[in-house]
């Protein structure tokens, strides 16, 4: 999974380093110049970080990379875009195919209302202008998993245009500074998915499964406003979260519900854009950034060596970690677009233009869909920051894991502990345990109310935080026990008996005269050693602040 925030994971390469801190280094104001109004039609000039090829000396050859994306998101619907057959992943081959999906003669497309609504809702969430009239076209190409020989798409007049997608990257020393960047959305179009081909190279044949043929897709075209793999991956991750929040697509990359093609070129800043290549079928968030970064570096190397970049389609070989040219496209493809003769223009309405007496099943009201828009991830994060005073990067982390935000909110509801404490526990300890065991949030044996109870014990100073961690580990192992049960079983309560604690402190000081001497000589760290020793003797049952007070009192007496 891509982190929703850009972090300098690609620091190993010098151009990527330039990508991260180009704002400060080159004085172009990239680091601070971004604010996102998210408004439609906002003109956005891509910041193109300057990339330095590894071979260059003293920054002579600066390269800027330009990345644009085409993203296909499968619409979450019961039935397909133009037929009434079911949409379902991993069904028996060819079981979800109607005669239309197999393009048998005499069949005609019938548009699925749900798919249109999903496209409108996605367009609104991405600040697009919704075209009240849009058109369907045929895009022709020959491939065995496209039995009609053409795909119905929206080439001339798509359903939504001119939007924007804001995503955030973290910069600064501790990644504490969150910068919002914006990528323009050229258009969103409705189109059909193709079937699936299984290549059996041994027997030199292709097996065709048409279950996916005709499933509704949203093709989201992002303008080339990005400049490295991490930016692209972060933008895709944000789009994924938005689609999931809207429910318009499940956007699960592993199941192919979100697929990305990247257009990549490099050039010297101030000069015209370079020849671009297209890297197809980036179906994993992990490989998306890597493929783009590889392709940028490959193009720089080619140009530095005096070679030319060919306008070609490439694919990413994740085993080799490099992009390779695809062989089945020779030269420029002519898709022979033509208007789809079987589908009249798609008309949408708003409340003002809604025809009187129209059948509500047959008209789509853009204003109604706008009213139904759920809270978007950016709004959710903003709310978290406002409501609980947590750090922006924590708000990203909470949304990045399926179910984590809900878990966090349920804990908050039931505990008196500070939101900051809860955030720290959920993001560090709880999430750490999940990651270590490769579990999803809903697979956790620790429920929100159990964690809330544990944090209450901590908050009431019944146990120390070290003991709380012990209890947490125990909770993970022994399902069904409450934190209080574990605390009393293991005798982990904080020592409330101050006299007893004073005796322990005294004994420890007696036993370590050297440390006491150090402390008296003014070594400030020596007291920490004594605190640690006392805690060890008390099996983490004493509050370090109380120990410190007692030790200081005894030393000064």
Partner 1 sequence: MSVQASPTLFMAAAAAVAARSDVVTLKRVARLHVWTHYGGLGEKCGRVRCCWAIGPGWAGTGASPPRRILSGRVTAEVIEHLERLALVDFGSQEAVARLEKAIAFADRLRAVDTEGVEPMESVLEDRCLYLRSDNVVEGNCVEELLQNAHRVVEEYFVAPPGNISLPKQDEQQPFSHN
Residue 203 host element (H or E): none
Q: How far is the CB of 409 from partner 1 (least distance, A)?
A: 31
Distance in Å from the first CA to the final CA of the chain: 58
How many Å apart are CA 359 and CA 95, to the nearest integer?
34
Burial classification of residue 482, based on how many CB atoms lie within 10 Å of its CB (0-12 exposed, 13-18 middle, 19 or more buried): middle
Q: Which is nearer to partner 1, 149 or 172 (CB)?
A: 149
* Sign of the CA dihedral with 121 first, then 126, 130, and 135 last: negative
Cα(375)–Cα(30) distance, integer angstroms: 29
CA dist., res. 121 & res. 366, Å (int): 8
Nearer to partner 1, 20 or 87 (CB): 87
CB proximity list for 207: less than 8 A, separation 6 or greater: 93, 197, 198, 200
Q: Identify which of residues 60 and 359 has a Cβ nearer to partner 1 in the complex.
A: 359
Pull the structure tokens for residue 458: 């901590």
Tokens of 299: 């193009």
Q: Tokens 């195919």 appear where?
A: 97
Within 10 angstroms of residue 454's Cβ, the number of other Cβ atoms is 27
The residue with tokens 């003293």 is: 58
Residue 190 Cβ, how far from partner 1 at the closest point, in Å?
Answer: 12
Q: Give the β-pairing of 177-192 and 346-347.
A: unpaired
Instruction: Name which of 105 and 272 has its Cβ closer to partner 1.
Output: 105
| Residue 71: CB minimum distance to partner 1, A | 23
Nearer CB in complex with partner 1: 138/535: 138
- Of the candidates 262, 75, 66, 264, the one whose C-alpha atom is nearest the C-alpha of residue 159 is 75
Q: How far is the CB of 189 from partner 1 (least distance, A)?
A: 16
Neighbours of 282 (CB within 10 A): 29
The least CB distance from residue 109 to partner 1, in Å, is 10
Q: How far is the CB of 184 from partner 1 (least distance, A)?
A: 26
> Would you tell me the crossing angle of helices 285-304 and 14-26 to the nearest 10 degrees?
80
* Minimum CB distance to partner 1, residue 110 (Å): 5
Q: How far is the CB of 98 from partner 1 (least distance, A)?
A: 4
For partner 1, which is the closer residue by CB, 346 or 412?
346
Chain centre to alpha carbon of residue 334: 35
Pairing of strands 277-282, 313-317: parallel
Beta strands in 441-493, from DSSP E residues, in sequence order: none
Compare residues 211 and 284 and give the one whose CB is closer to partner 1: 211
Looking at beta carbons only, is 93 or 256 nearer to partner 1?
93
Q: Which is nearer to partner 1, 101 or 219 (CB)?
A: 101
Residues near partner 1 (CB under 8 A) are 77-79, 83-86, 92-102, 104-105, 110-116, 135, 140, 142-144, 147, 149, 197-201, 204-210, 328, 330, 333-334, 336-347, 361-362, 364
Shortest distance (Å) from residue 81 CB to partner 1? 10
Nearer to partner 1, 174 or 327 (CB): 327
Q: What Rg do the C-alpha atoms of the chain give, in angstroms? A: 29
Query: C-beta of 326: minimal distance to partner 1 in Å?
Result: 10
């Amino acid at each position: 999974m891509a982190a929703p925030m850009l972090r300098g994971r690609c620091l190993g390469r010098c151009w990527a380093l330039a990508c991260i801190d180009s704002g400060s280094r080159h004085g172009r104001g990239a680091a601070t110049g971004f604010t996102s109004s998210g408004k439609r039609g906002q003109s956005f000039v891509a910041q193109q970080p300057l990339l330095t090829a590894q071979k260059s000396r003293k920054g002579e050859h600066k390269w800027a990379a330009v990345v644009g994306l085409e993203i296909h998101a499968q619409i979450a619907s019961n039935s397909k875009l133009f037929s009434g057959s079911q949409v379902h992943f991993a069904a028996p081959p060819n079981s979800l195919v109607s005669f239309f999906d197999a393009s048998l003669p005499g069949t005609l497309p019938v548009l699925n209302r749900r798919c249109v609504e999903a496209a409108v809702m996605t367009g609104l969430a991405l600040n697009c202008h919704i075209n009240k009239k849009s058109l369907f076209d045929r895009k022709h190409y020959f491939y065995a998993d496209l039995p009609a020989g053409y795909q119905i798409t929206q080439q001339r007049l798509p359903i939504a245009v001119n939007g924007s997608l804001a995503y955030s990257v973290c910069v600064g020393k501790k990644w504490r500074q969150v910068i919002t960047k914006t990528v323009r959305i050229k258009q969103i179009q409705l189109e059909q998915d193709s079937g699936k081909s299984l290549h059996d190279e041994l027997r030199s044949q292709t097996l065709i499964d048409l279950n996916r043929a005709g499933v509704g897709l949203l093709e989201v075209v992002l303008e080339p406003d990005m400049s490295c793999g991490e930016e692209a991956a972060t933008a895709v991750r944000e789009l994924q979260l938005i689609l999931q929040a809207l429910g318009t697509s499940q956007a699960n990359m592993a199941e192919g519900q979100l697929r990305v093609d990247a257009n990549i070129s490099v050039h010297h800043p101030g000069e015209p854009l370079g020849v671009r290549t297209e890297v197809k079928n980036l179906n994993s968030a992990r490989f998306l950034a890597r493929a783009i970064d590889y392709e940028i570096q490959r193009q720089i190397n080619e140009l530095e060596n005096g070679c030319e970049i060919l306008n070609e389609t490439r694919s990413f070989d994740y085993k080799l970690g490099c992009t390779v040219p695809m062989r089945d496209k020779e030269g420029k493809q002519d898709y022979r677009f033509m208007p789809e003769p079987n589908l009249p223009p798609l008309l949408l309405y708003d409340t003002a233009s809604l025809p009187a007496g129209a059948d509500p099943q047959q008209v789509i009201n853009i204003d109604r869909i706008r009213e139904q828009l759920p809270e978007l991830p950016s709004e959710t994060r903003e709310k978290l920051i406002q409501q609980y005073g947590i750090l922006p990067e924590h708000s990203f982390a909470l949304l990045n894991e399926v179910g984590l935000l809900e878990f966090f909110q349920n804990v908050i509801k039931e505990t008196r502990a500070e939101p900051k404490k809860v955030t720290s526990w959920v993001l560090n300890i709880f999430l750490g345990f999940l990651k270590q065991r490769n579990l999803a949030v809903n697979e956790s044996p620790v429920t929100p109310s159990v964690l809330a109870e544990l944090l209450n014990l901590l908050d009431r100073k019944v146990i120390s935080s070290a003991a709380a961690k012990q209890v947490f580990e125990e909770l993970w192992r022994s399902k069904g026990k409450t934190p209080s049960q574990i605390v009393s079983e293991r005798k982990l309560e904080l020592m409330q008996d101050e006299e007893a604690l004073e005796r322990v402190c005294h004994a420890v000081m007696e036993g370590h005269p050297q440390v006491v001497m150090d402390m008296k000589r003014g070594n400030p760290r020596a007291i920490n050693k004594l605190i640690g020793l006392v805690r060890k003797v008390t099996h983490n049952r004493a509050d370090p602040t109380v120990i410190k007070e007692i030790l200081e009192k005894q030393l000064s007496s």
